[in-house]
Amino acid sequence: MAERTSIDTILHESRIFPPPADFEQRIGGSYVTSLEAYRAMHRRSIEDPEGYWGEAARAFHWFRPWDRVLEWSLPDAKWFAGGRTNLCFNCVDRQVQGGHGEAPALIWEGEPASPSGYEIRRLTYAELMREVCRCANALKAMGVRRGDIVTIYMGMVPELAVAVLACARIGAPHSVIFGGFSAQAIADRVQDAQSRTIITCDGAWRRGHLVPLKANVDEGAAIAGGVTNVLVLRRCGNDVRMTPGRDRWWHEFVDDQPTDCPCEPMESEDMLFLLYTSGSTGKPKGIMHTTGGYMVYTAHTARTVFNLRPDRAQVFWCTADVGWVTGHSYIIYGVLPNRVPTLMYEGAPNFPEPDRFWDIVERHRVTQFYTAPTAIRAFMKWGDAWPRKHDLSSLIVLGSVGEPINPEAWMWYRETIGGGRCPIVDTWWQTETGGHMITPLPGATPTVPGSCTLPFFGVDAAIVDESGAELPHGKGGLLAIRRPWPGMLRGIHGDRERFIQTYFSRIPGMYFAGDGAHRDERGYFWILGRVDDVINVSGHRLGTMEVESALVSHPAVVEAAVVGMPHDIKGTGIAAFVTLEPHFAPSDDLRADLAKHVAKEIGAIAKPDVIRFTDALPKTRSGKIMRRLLRDVAAGADTGQDMTTLEDLSVLARLREGEE
Ligand code: PRX
């Protein structure tokens, strides 16, 4: 479905927007100023990646220089081997030592409105460093050592950034779990990482409601076992149960710690973090990122793609949650080394009213704004009157990430939010890639609504067939990356085989992204969507099998098949086809109960939009569920009605046997 729409789009899209004439002047100097300059630099970066990345890496602080920029033995990349650095040092200490201790590092706004306005906190680099040191010392005092994996399950509060940086400071890899995930999801991740320490909050604010984070941690820790330390930040003031000997309050324990803590010199290839993401099996995989390459890649892409300039009064706002890779890379790690303040907002875009984002842009004079198509589509639906109430003239660059952006949303973003004067950078990348891979550069690349345009420096992207042969422009195929890049994942935690199978087996000798794509006659890339059993719901990645496993763990369910379906706001919605145990009858109550069950097993983001009861699932003769057929049925579904008979499905199935 999505595929057909996109190909249609490509064939008919002829609008092209060169970088605005006044961009150079508004941004105060663009790093790359023309398409020709981009092309020449890209060519050089592909011919001599070690030269390119070696030079980029020199912009950072290293305790010890690297011996070699790259050692590559498929599928293992070592970047800056022999080098020692610390990413927290590069985010914070370096700015303080460089005389910028009083410059703004983090601007935070809380969600709740009070009569005196919103709660706003501004941390300078010096303040951030003190907070990070205290937290790092607290972790050490709790017994956390270099190499221990620390789980972080918090709302979007400044202490989340502090906790992440504190882990990086002492060389304890973090595993941040999105605050919308359930207790069971926490348990799975804690167990897989064998993590004994969790940092959390009493609760989080979301659209005026309280999310009971600590209660979820208690339940998750009970399922997982082995958790010996829980550090709890008081944010909402809700009642929580503190387990003596295991749980400590942040304000009692962290605030008392000394404000200096040396940065641990880390090897380039030491693990920086684990981040769990969905794949095509039921079990989320812990994507491993390491220190040196990830640091250079995220900060260098952030600088170039958003044209971050510390010499101008810029404020960078990425609206993602730190629980996803976008927040890791473009709220924290990619931004702070560039000495541009990063804005963090706690809550929902429509609280208390649908203009909250635009109100924030206006009040904080945001210059670069980075969000997801699903949010843009929601804003379109809420109407132009909300953004029109605000002065958005501070904006210079607009970014999009997480899923394909439909040209209608792209145009609305450009005109209504950007006033027609801000380039849009539609950035294609993944949890696994660490940072941007295919993206326009705002001062250089003419943009086309719906296309993520051209590969970043050092990225050798191609559209290939299953044998790895490059396809001519105009032909759809698999999106592959033919050479290593510094931000690439280094593995799946505890599962080497799955790492090789998932990314380096389908196309010989190349990284397989899991996306289908296409290049137009200009050579621009168009992402058609996932070609595996992963769906992208509101820019959040979910495995259909994960949702299926959650459904079949309900006593009423015998079998379930989950597919994506087109959804106006979410991009892709979730449709579930479910067969029931004989003594359960289809009903709306059961439907609601199943949705609740999925939310409990995974999180609210995984709740199916449509649940259809059927007496059997359509299968091929060899017993494979005919997913394409179900996708077509789901795409035509406008109601959650039960299918009266499965006859229709089985007739369809017989007709289409062999197509799957
Ligand atoms: O399908 C692509 C889609 O999101 C997937 C990666 O999801 P995740 O690892 O959660 O990371 C999301 C944020 C980087 C990709 O395989 N995707 C991401 N960005 C885009 C996109 N699809 C089209 N256009 C994009 N700009």
Per residue in 322-334, pLDDT (tens digit) is: 999 999 999 999 9
Q: State if residue 403 touches ligand 1 by the CB under 6 angstroms criterion.
A: yes
Give nearest CA residue, ligand 1 atom 12. Answer: 402
Give the E-state strand segments of 381-422 in sequence order: 397-401
- pLDDT confidence of residue 467: 95
Q: State if residue 286 touches ligand 1 by the CB under 6 angstroms criterion.
A: no
The strand pairing partners of 174, in sequence order, are 150, 273
Index of the ligand 1 atom closest to the CA of residue 513:
16
Q: State if residue 307 touches ligand 1 by the CB under 6 angstroms criterion.
A: no
- pLDDT confidence of residue 283: 84
- pLDDT confidence of residue 625: 86
Give nearest CA residue, ligand 1 atom 23. Answer: 404
Instruction: Enter the tokens of residue 580.
Output: 């029931």
Residue by residue, DSSP assigns 263-283 as PP-EETTSEEEEEEE--SSSS
Residue by residue, DSSP assigns 543-602 as EHHHHHHHHHTSTTEEEEEEEEEEETTTEEEEEEEEEE-TT----HHHHHHHHHHHHHHT
Find the mean pLDDT for residues 70-80: 97
Helix (H, G, I), strand (E, B) or coil at 479: strand
Query: How far is the centre of ligand 1, averaged over its atoms, from the C-alpha of 10 (Å)?
Result: 19
Q: State if residue 416 touches ligand 1 by the CB under 6 angstroms criterion.
A: no
- To the nearest whole percent, how much of the chain has pLDDT over 70? 95
Residue 398 pLDDT greater than 70, yes or no: yes
Query: How far is the centre of ligand 1, averaged over its atoms, from the C-alpha of 402 (Å)?
Result: 4
Give nearest CA residue, ligand 1 atom 2. Answer: 403
Q: Interior CA angle at 8 toward 529 and 525, to 5°?
A: 50
Index of the ligand 1 atom closest to the CA of residue 426:
26
- Is-contact 605 537, C-beta < 8 A? yes
Q: What is the pLDDT of residues 441-496, one digit of tens each?
A: 999 999 999 999 999 999 999 999 999 999 999 999 999 999 999 999 999 999 99
Give nearest CA residue, ligand 1 atom 15. Answer: 430
**Of 129, 215, 140, 144, which is closest to residue 175 (Cα–Cα)?**
144
Q: State if residue 426 touches ligand 1 by the CB under 6 angstroms criterion.
A: yes
Query: How far is the centre of ligand 1, averaged over its atoms, from the C-alpha of 52 (Å)?
Result: 25
Give nearest CA residue, ligand 1 atom 6. Answer: 430
Q: State if residue 511 touches ligand 1 by the CB under 6 angstroms criterion.
A: no
Q: What is the pLDDT of residues 322-366, one digit of tens each?
A: 999 999 999 999 999 999 999 999 999 999 999 999 999 999 999
User: Beta 557-567 vs 540-543: how paired, if at all?
Assistant: unpaired
> What does the alpha-carbon distance between residue 657 and residue 623 come to, in Å, rounded to a whole number?
11
- pLDDT confidence of residue 7: 67
Q: State if residue 452 touches ligand 1 by the CB under 6 angstroms criterion.
A: yes
Query: How far is the centre of ligand 1, averaged over its atoms, from the C-alpha of 510 (Å)?
Result: 19
Query: How far is the centre of ligand 1, averaged over its atoms, from the C-alpha of 530 (Å)?
Result: 9
Terminal-to-terminal C-alpha distance of the chain: 15
The strand pairing partners of 577, in sequence order, are 561, 612
Q: State if residue 401 touches ligand 1 by the CB under 6 angstroms criterion.
A: yes
Q: State if residue 441 touches ligand 1 by the CB under 6 angstroms criterion.
A: no
**Of 92, 99, 28, which is closest to residue 313 (Cα–Cα)?**
28
**Of 424, 520, 457, 525, which is closest to residue 19 (Cα–Cα)?**
424
Q: Quick one: pLDDT band at residue 279, thresholds 50, 70, 90?
A: confident
